[in-house]
Structures are given as C-alpha cells and as structure tokens.
Amino acid sequence: MKKTKIWRVLVFSLLIMALLLSACSSGDDAATSAPAEGEAIASPPEGEPIDILPTANPDEQSLTASQNVNVRSGPGTQYPVYKLMLGGETAKLLGVSTDGAYYAVDMPIVSPSTGWVDVNFSTVTSTEGLPTIEAPPVPPTAEFEPVEEGQPAVIAADGVYVRSGPSDHFPAYGIGQPGASALLIGVSEDGLWWVVRLDPDVVGDGHGWVQKEFVTTENVPEDLAVIATPPEPQASELPAPDTTGPYGVATDYLNVRSGPATNYPVLGVAAPSASATITGKSADGLWWQVNVGSQYVADGLGWVHGSYVAAYNVENVPVVEASSPPPATEIPPATSVPPTGTVTCELVSQDPIDGTTFKGGETFDMVWDLENVGTATWTVADALIVKTGAVTDQPLSDIVDLNLTADVATGEIYSVIVPMTSPSAVGEFGEYWTITMGGETICYFYNIIQVVE
C-alpha cells in the first residue's frame, strides 16, 4: 500500500533528467556531499572504500587539526560546513586561500575535491611551495518566511544548506545564515531533516529541507507532519562543451531552470562535475544560461545559479534577456500548518503515477483511490472534494469541486476521478486536492506530471 500523501503537497516530486556543471560546496558541521561524477574526480575501483579526508603520503604535505574544527565548502564562515574534523585528525594539504586564513585539504567525495580548514585550528608539516587557491562562489542566502512568536521554528546554528530534499544529492536553494529562523512545517521520514517554509515568491516550491544536526528548534509540536521523501535526482548526459569557449562545471547538485530565478520551473538537475556550454548571463550577473539540449526544452537552453558553477572563458559572454517569470505557485494555506480536524484518509493507489510523461494537449483521467482510515463515515451530505491549487499556477482540469457519489464507511476505498489535459508548455505540472467534511479537512492528495516535447 502506498504511503499516505498527507502533507506531500509540500514536497511534490523534483522529477529530473539532470544536466550540467561541476565543482564544490560546503559549510561548518554540515554533511558531506555525494561523490562527484565526471572528469573532475577519479572514480575508485568498484567496491573499494574511499576516505572522506585521505591522509598524506610520507612525501606529501599534511594538515593536522589542533582541536575540533569545521571543514567548510570555502575559505570563510559564510560557507556552509561539510563535516567536523576532530582534534588530531590529519588530511592531505592542497593549498592556502588568497588571504592566508584557510588551508585547502583533499576531500575526494566533493567536487572539486577540496575542503577548507581555518589555519588557527590546524598545524601543517610545511608550507613550502604551497599553491594559492581561489575561493569558490559563496552560495546565495535562502529566503525564509517570517516566524511569529510561539510558532514552531528552526534556527541555524551555523551556515546550513537549505535543499530541495532530505539528502545532499538534492540541489540547494541557498544557505540559512547563522542565527536565521525559519518556520518549521515538517520532518523527514528518517527523522534526520526538518522541512521549513521558504518565501514562495522567491522559491516556487515554498519549502526546503535542512539537516537537523546543524540547527536548533523551538516550539516543536508532538504531531509534526512527516513529509514524504521526493525522488532523488538522477544524472543524465548533456551536450559536451567546447572547453576552448565559455563553459561551466557544477560545484554541487544543481537545479537547471527555465529562467534566471528560483521561481522559474525546474527543467532538470545537474550532478557535481557535469559540464555544459555557457551561452549567456543574466542582467544581474548571478545566473548563467547554458546549453542543455533540446530533449529537455525546445530551444535547448536553461539557467543555473552562478554560485554553484565554476565558470571558464566567460569574459565576453553576452547578457541575455529572460522571459517573464511565472506567477508564484499558489500553495494551499493548509500546506504550511497542520489542518484543522483529523486527516482520515490514506492513498491506496493513483493512475497515472507521479512523474508520468505526456505530450502537450494529451487528455487523461486522473484517478486517486483513497481509503477511509478514520472512525467516521464520509457522507454525501457533508463531504466535498475540492481543488485547492495548481503547480506553477497551471491547472490541468476545469473542475473546481466534486460531490461524493456514495457514503464511504471506515475501511472502504473511494475513487476520485478528474478528467485532465496536459498543458502545451514543457515542464512539471500538477494539481492539489482535498476532501472536507463539515468544513474540516479530512484528506489531502495531489498529482505531478511531466510534459515533454
């Protein structure tokens, strides 16, 4: 039986085909990134373990932590944490920052294999001939929704990544700065990540995930919603760039969007070390336009945030005017706080399943099979099936609400059927629905489709 979709309205699938770019990202006391893919890092033999911080050979320079110290994604506290390096732990020394305040150490599981350690908390065998390494771009700051007094809250203890799912494999929207507060709206299925509310005018999804170990909390309710984990990004091939011209390499898992802002739809996700040709830049200089191929979008072009990209040969890249962003996604109010009443349904099955692909203009019947798992009968007289929103403000049906056709007793299954038509535009679309009874919400469900060329 498929798990209840209560609250999955918050975390609709980040379906993907992953795209370009490479390099690295980090932050204090933060989890390590996934192994990079592509040329930037050599893959170990199958089955052979790889050290997070390899020790140096006798003829190589090394660093030893003089006390517990954070290994960050860049040379400064404005960068988030990869991991905690314990006092006495050693690592292979790679270089020093331009200001001499941080040492770079070998960290093969991130791209480009570099972590950064404060020189004040480390000793080195030698600095002779040590190269100076340029700092990577600083990730943008995540835009949290304000938290009112008494509400459940997450407070960043240090710079912490805010991601689109509960794993380092999911792209980051940015970082929560030390001391920043966010509205707490859920917890991951494994209990290791919090789900927080983001400004939907800035981040279309309206929510993000932060790792528990790098934050503190206030006013956490006992009945906090458990949020289902969306599918993890899967990397795929992109047109290889001509490295004699402008190109970029991803420094983390990275959303590729249809425009230069986080409120544009996601076309796919790039894995660390994936690369792509850069064809333009945004007027504010924060985003690169890249070649992703016509299999993802008709004109073959997408946009990536420059903070997650190592860019090369871009001195003469032109400014490209972007299309107008879509309106902010209308997220039902009840998705950010627990609903009134008791949710008493469980999704048994749905057809088509989330992520099914369609050509533009295709018609289909969306069917959700919902079981009444409460103690009260859903009655024709009091219950109403209501559409509460649409992904990217693009509805798939003209229907606004439906009446039950029969009473649904405890343990019985009821099928909600809605005729839908896929939009002509390429992208991700879906609708949010609820069942209410006596004015109270008793059920949440939704669907997500992908429209392709």
How many structural domains is the chain composed of? Answer: 3
Task: Please tell me whether residues 91 and 166 are part of one structural domain.
Answer: no
Separation CA 94–CA 366 (nearest Å): 55
What pairs with residue 304 in β-bridges? Answer: 288
Domain membership of residue 252 (yes or no) is no
Task: Please tell me whether residues 49 and 114 are part of one structural domain.
Answer: yes
Sequential pLDDT tens for the chain (453 residues): 333 333 333 333 332 333 333 333 333 332 222 222 222 223 333 445 556 788 889 889 999 999 888 888 889 888 887 778 888 999 999 999 999 999 999 987 665 678 999 999 999 998 899 999 988 877 788 878 888 888 999 998 777 888 888 887 788 888 888 888 999 988 888 889 999 988 877 776 678 899 888 889 999 988 888 888 877 766 656 788 888 999 988 877 778 888 888 777 777 788 777 888 999 998 888 889 999 887 667 788 889 888 778 788 988 999 998 877 655 444 343 333 334 445 678 888 889 988 888 988 899 999 999 999 888 899 888 889 988 878 766 789 988 889 899 999 999 999 999 999 998 888 888 888 888 887 778 888 888 888 887
Task: Please tell me whether residues 180 and 92 are part of one structural domain.
Answer: no
Strands (DSSP E) found in 251-373: 254-257, 266-270, 275-281, 287-291, 301-305, 309-312, 345-351, 356-359, 363-372
Q: What is the DSSP track for 171-238?
A: PEEEEEPTT-EEEEEEEETTSSEEEEEB-TTTSTT-EEEEEGGGEEEES--TTPPEEPPPPPP-----
Separation CA 196–CA 151 (nearest Å): 12
Separation CA 226–CA 187 (nearest Å): 5
Output DSSP code: residue 334.
G
- Where helices occur in 338-396 by DSSP H, the ranges are none
Q: Which domain-ending residue is among 106, 135, 164?
A: 135
Which residue bears the tokens 């469900």? 445
Task: Please tell me whether residues 165 and 69 are part of one structural domain.
Answer: no
Structure tokens at 242: 């001509």
Domain membership of residue 48 (yes or no) is yes
Task: Please tell me whether residues 166 and 119 are part of one structural domain.
Answer: no
Task: Please tell me whether residues 187 and 97 are part of one structural domain.
Answer: no
Interstrand relation of 172-176 and 160-163 (parallel, antiparallel or unpaired) = antiparallel
Which residues, 6 or more positions from 71, have their beta carbon under 8 angstroms from its beta carbon? 26, 53, 81, 82, 83, 84, 85, 105, 107, 115, 116, 117
Separation CA 276–CA 20 (nearest Å): 5
Handedness of CA 138, 143, 149, 153 (dihedral sign): negative
Domain membership of residue 115 (yes or no) is yes
Which residue bears the tokens 């509205």? 183
Domain membership of residue 162 (yes or no) is yes
Which residue bears the tokens 């938290």? 147
Domain membership of residue 435 (yes or no) is yes
Task: Please tell me whether residues 123 and 189 are part of one structural domain.
Answer: no
Domain membership of residue 254 (yes or no) is no
Separation CA 396–CA 249 (nearest Å): 36
Which residue bears the tokens 């985003």? 287
Q: What Cα–Cα distance (Å) separates residue 448 from each residue in 11, 57, 328?
A: 11, 51, 17
Domain membership of residue 66 (yes or no) is yes
Separation CA 312–CA 354 (nearest Å): 38
What is the pTM for the complete model shown?
0.48
Task: Please tell me whether residues 116 and 216 are part of one structural domain.
Answer: no
Task: Please tell me whether residues 377 and 348 are part of one structural domain.
Answer: yes
Residue numbers of the domain that contains 47:
24-135
401: CATH: 2.60.40.10
Structure tokens at 387: 């559409």
* Burial class of residue 149 (count of CB atoms within 10 Å of its CB; 0-12, 13-18, 19+): exposed
Domain membership of residue 391 (yes or no) is yes
Task: Please tell me whether residues 87 and 184 are part of one structural domain.
Answer: no
Q: Which domain-ending residue is among 100, 135, 170?
A: 135
Task: Please tell me whether residues 36 and 109 are part of one structural domain.
Answer: yes
165: CATH: 2.30.30.40
Strands (DSSP E) found in 213-329: 215-218, 226-227, 247-250, 254-257, 266-270, 275-281, 287-291, 301-305, 309-312
Task: Please tell me whether residues 441 and 354 are part of one structural domain.
Answer: yes
Question: Rounded to 5 degrees, what are φ and ψ at 370?
Answer: -115, 130
